[in-house]
Structure 1
Amino acid sequence: MPMDLEPDDFIAFLAGCGARAEKLRQSGRGDVVLVLGCELSVFCKGFVPGETSGERLATMADPATWTDQAKMAELYAGLSRWGDVQQQLVTAAREVFAGRITYAAGMWEDVNWELFDIVSVDAYRDAASAATFRDELQDRLKWGKPVAVTEFGCCAYKGAADRGGSGWMIVDRSVDPPAINGSYERDEEEQVEYLLELVEEFERIELAAAFWFSFAGYELRHRPDDPRHDLDLSSYGLVAVGDDGRLTPKRVFGKLAEVNEGRR
């Protein structure tokens, strides 16, 4: 998904994707669902202050954003435009795509799910959201539509589960080559425990589907003999990618296979 586009440009991009998806749907190769983007309030311009997605994510993560009245006013003024863009996005998609549509929402985003066929959310539990996580997910059932988790997962180091969706932010990209910004202990069992705990939560809520993020962080190379440059520590991947491109399954890879096999 391209980032840092203006909303009009992104709508045009998604309309093109919808036209291609319709050709695939008409080919009869299965049920094709069109996902109209991901967390657009931070990955598109025009909602959260900032020229780049990195700047906008930093704004959302900065505690001062939520205590400074002027910053909050600027933020909510931007987010108020989100409703109009949702309608425009859905209208453009329905003109070219006749299948079901959804949108991969951030937990913080206010979405009018009446516009969509499936309620979808990127659901990363972290230390701050743990107490309310189940209730927040369950609340999405009120629309009377299938609810899917389009992303969940954590990185493979101690403490990564408590960071959830921000676990990848341990790389200093201001240096060349990029380096891990501190001392982190690799722990593949962290991913396994996170997987099993969240699958249990999802089963209680009876979600329609859940997708682990992700298969591999191809640009985040695993260097076990060089911890400072072992960028795989910041990857959510089921497999680690070596400098030679070789893929090595992590413990969570096998556990996810077991979980899926047990549900057939």
Structure 2
Amino acid sequence: MNRRGVLYDTGRYLGFNWRPQFSREATRRDLTVIRDELHCNAVKLSGRDLDRLATAARDAIALGLEVWLSPELWNHTPARTLDYLAAAARTAETLRREPGARIVLSVATEATFFLRGILPGRTFAARTKHPAPAIRAGRHTEPLAAFLRAAAETARRHFNGPLTYASLPFERVDWQRFDFVAVDHYRYITSEPHYERVLERLRRHEKPVIITEFGMRTYKGADTDPNLLTVGLISWPTVALHQLPLLNHLIRPRLIRGHHQRDEDLQARRIAEDLHILDRAGVEGAFVTQFSEPLLTYHPDPRYDLDMSGFSLVRTYPGPPDRWERKAAFHAVAAHFR
């Protein structure tokens, strides 16, 4: 792999901000760890706030990291999203002109699900509840193609660097519009039988293939859980209510009820296997999901161990954004990239 990276969330937003606190000092420290300890030469910066993305990107550039900028305005209409993309592309062009900058701009992430108007449903939950019939019928194909055509044209008007789109494995994309073929590709019970076939199909476009997301959660049986990419084990209503000022002392975020067991070794082993598979497949680069998830904090009581359901390479603790510890997966990624 020529591009060895990790995803860093500056504040994705779906219902609420997934990184409520953003500290430039903590972010700079994290990016330094990503370069020096994980041995990455690239970082994918995701989030909604363009100022946060630009701040993190400048620090990544200063550290010599290639920046894959992934501005994400989720659950809005195509028209509103294209206006946002134009602003994001202007930001990316400003960053591209900085000394030593290497910037790749992603025009969207998994638009079939995260963009309103591709599949039926006003919310992400509605669109992903029972998507298979609509997808098999190809209802997403034409609106997705129209959006990506407009997105590429919009981005090219304002940004003179390379473009990509973080696709879903089932989406058929006109990759001639982009400089990199990119896919969010997780290996678990549903996708494992055809995981490598997807990579083979994408390589036929004769452009560099990038895995823009892959990873594993941290609980026993995550690799055989068909809900791996949806809710996981989190009781999301308790997480959402905990963000409200009047309820955060009354509602404690927790996992869904049941007996759940933390399994850091599973997460580390599966990610290490993924990296070997991707190396063997000859992909240009890959970004592990993800460095940290500040809302999914660790707790010794498994009922409240939100990190158990997280994809992060470090376990975070409540409080300031600089409290985290390396997990087994962190060391597995570091060993492979080294």
- TM-score between the two structures when normalised by the length of structure 2: 0.70
State the match for 2:200 in structure 1.
138
Among candidates 226, 235, 252, match of residue 172 of structure 1: 235
State the match for 1:249 in structure 2.
326
1:178-257 equivalence runs, <5 A: 178-181=253-256, 182-224=258-300, 226-245=301-320, 246-257=323-334
State the match for 2:58 in structure 1.
none
Is the alpha carbon distance of 1:78 and 1:142 closer, same or farther for their aligned partners in structure 2, counting shifts above 3 Å? closer
Task: Determine if contact 2:269/2:332 at 8 Å carries over to the other structure.
Answer: no
CA–CA distance in structure 1, aligned partners of residues 171 and 225 of structure 2: 19
User: What fraction of aligned residue pairs are identical, expressed as a percent?
Assistant: 29
Corresponding pairs, count: 251
CA–CA distance in structure 2, aligned partners of residues 203 and 227 of structure 1: 35
Give the gaps of 5 or more residues in structure 1: none
What displacement does 1:130 show?
1.1
Q: Looking at secondary structure, tell me which structure has more helix per residue.
A: 1
What displacement does 1:168 show?
4.7
State the match for 1:56 in structure 2.
127
Moved over 3 A (4+): 174-178
What displacement does 1:6 show?
0.2
Name the amino acid aligned to 1:249: R
What displacement does 1:78 show?
4.1
Task: Determine if contact 1:156/1:235 at 8 Å carries over to the other structure.
Answer: yes
Task: Determine if contact 1:167/1:234 at 8 Å carries over to the other structure.
Answer: no
CA–CA distance in structure 2, aligned partners of residues 199 and 120 of structure 1: 16
Partner SS, residue 171 of structure 1 = coil
Is the alpha carbon distance of 1:150 and 1:222 closer, same or farther for their aligned partners in structure 2, counting shifts above 3 Å? same
Q: 1:151-194 deviations in whole A, cap 9, x for unaligned?
A: 00011111112348526522122344342113211000111111
Partner SS, residue 157 of structure 1 = coil
Partner SS, residue 102 of structure 1 = strand
Task: Determine if contact 2:290/2:313 at 8 Å carries over to the other structure.
Answer: yes
1:20-169 equivalence runs, <5 A: 20-60=91-131, 65-66=132-133, 76-163=138-225, 165-166=228-229, 168-169=231-232
CA–CA distance in structure 2, aligned partners of residues 167 and 105 of structure 1: 16
CA–CA distance in structure 2, aligned partners of residues 169 and 55 of structure 1: 17
CA–CA distance in structure 2, aligned partners of residues 18 and 163 of structure 1: 37
Give the gaps of 5 or more residues in structure 2: 1-71, 239-250
Task: Determine if contact 1:148/1:209 at 8 Å carries over to the other structure.
Answer: yes
Task: Determine if contact 2:118/2:143 at 8 Å carries over to the other structure.
Answer: yes
- TM-score between the two structures when normalised by the length of structure 1: 0.89
Is the alpha carbon distance of 1:72 and 1:151 closer, same or farther for their aligned partners in structure 2, counting shifts above 3 Å? closer
Q: CA RMSD in A?
A: 1.8
